[in-house]
Structure 1
Amino acid sequence: MNAHVGHPRTAEQDAVPTPLGESSLLEVDDLRVHLPLRRRFPFSAKQSIKAVDGISLAIAPGEIVGLIGESGSGKTTFGRALLRLVTPSSGRIGFNGTDLTSLTPAEMRAFRRHMQMVFQDPYSSLNPRMSVGEAVGEPLSIHHPHLSTRARTERVTELLSQVGIAPAHASRNPHAFSGGQRQRIAIARALATEPDFIVADEPVSALDVSVQAQIVNLLLDLKERLGLTVLFISHDLGVISHIADRVVVMYLGKVMEIAPPSTFRNASAHPYTQALVSALPVEHPRLRHARVSLQGEIPSAVHPPSGCVFRTRCPRASAECAQIVPELRQLGAAHWAACIKL
């Protein structure tokens, strides 16, 4: 993303909690999501996609955590699992003292007003047969059915104003709006129930570069004004390094590194993160660094490599890496990495 989204964060701003902290809004402990595959033949062995494979992470109130990785790394599945839109295979998801993995489907539907999602494609996430006002007001009808028509209309007006959409346009259908405007409307809908936590799944990837910075700045502004906690999923390192308080790097269902943005950009430790960062554009030619190229494609999540899942593409890999599953190890303040070579 080339559009300007503000200055990089300073080291003082990068003070953030550890992967499992004490004062967390959301705490994920050893979460696994293994999605079963259909059998090709009646007596063939059961197989599953290990989309999320043992992630532990805590997110503090008011924090924006950026989740990054290649396509197929499990980012979207992890975000959906936090809201129980996909069912975890094992592990625990604690939200403000409530164990979400123990809730029944009906209890989870009611609880979801505290947690909302902004999807990647603003063109398909809004019902084309609903007006904008109806789409934004729908969560209110579901979670606050006692509201009068007047109160609901006033709340919709307030929400549209918050995201920069003229309330006078509430009667229009989604096709009358641009992609950036539709994503603003989707954000307004997500805010309708006053959630504490939002999962933003690639919210700017389907938008023009000129519009991406507007949406990023809107989320930053809403975070400051409303105290939102956000998991921001993206494959764009430039966006992540500007919006996030902390960056989580994911590969083949596992976390490779957790670091503040300044450490992520300038002192990453894991070879996978270093390869990602080497692709970032630099502000001045003298700062240009050597490009780290990864060989091959990301392996299958059905049969991931033994030991470290990154070893088949890692320039530092040795025979030992095939035997040991690396655990996250603290390297510095708020900096963690999973590599036995560190």
Structure 2
Amino acid sequence: MTTTERTAASYFLPSDEPLGLVFPDGAAADAPALPMPADDVLLRLYRGMVSGRRFDTQATALTKQGRLAVYPSARGQEACEIGAILALRPQDWLFPTYRDSMAVVARGVDPVEVLTLLRGDWHCGYDPYGANVAPQCTPLATNTLHAVGFAHAARAKGEDTVSLALLGDGATSEGDTHEALNFAAVWKAPVVFLVQNNGYAISVPLSKQTAAPSLAYKGVGYGMPSMLVDGNDAAVVHAAVEQAVARAAAGEGPTLIEAVTYRIESHTNADDATRYRERAEVEEWLERDPIARLKRYLTDHGLLTEQVQQEIDARAEDEASALRERMNVDTVLDPAELFEHVYAEPTAALRDQASELAAELEERA
């Protein structure tokens, strides 16, 4: 990159309006900076979003049935979740948050293992190295630092690895995000930050979090290029993340992408969203449904037939049925497991606590 390119505002600044490749009515849009994904990729995106939403609704139902302690729904954010995941290479790593269960499943992690954390059985229910997926982070923005450190270390070891950090608009208000963006830019770490701006940090609207024109502008101050995209357009999310991954892998440093989307359901099953937003607002975003949008495009271009749609729906239903059946089996829990894998070498305090618990359980036996 030349000095002229580095000092050019156009290199760092996001577009004034979110970039898109597919309009809400299914018509093709025009985003010169990003190519439309190939037809087979668009079909994969659609399949992934249909399966992802069915997983999400099933997980929500399991929470109501008492099988999960809590579940943060990602309904409405399928384009962000699936679009980003399908843009990753096998060797890349995902650093998700608590709302990104759909993305973790799409990355190839067993859905029951994904929900183990939300059921309260384990600290993390899956092997992070199995699908290159870090444990889901509940504390806001901590995963951004993990992603930067991991990517920086991987590059130091000569590995071709890019980290994708998923975060919400609320996480951009945290100090950890500031530190992650700053270090990533200074080190030119191979990291992609995807901000899923769904409008609210629990009940706090975006207008009370920042005065910036958009969250994408936060990247400019750190010296990294930023993009603003339509987060309900799976095609543009995929294209943007794929481009950012390629940049990072080529040694050109991190990218910040803001995807404007919306959380249709409440923050979690413990939240009442009607206390801070109007139903009319939700209805307006329902009209921008990411799945319906891509379906219109695929149908209009002869890529989605009725038979293919039936196959996609049947597969999603089979997956949900299998998840429901497996989650309705009570797990056998050993309280002593609370102390496993907390430290590589248990501390004295941890050993004392484990001994106290063992003694108490023996007394009650």
Determine if the TM-score, normalized by the shorter chain, exceeds 0.5: no
Structure with more helix by fraction: 2
TM-score (norm 1): 0.34
Structure with more strand by fraction: 1
TM-score (norm 2): 0.32
Using CA pairs below 8 Å that are at least 6 residues apart, which structure has the higher relative contact order?
A: 2
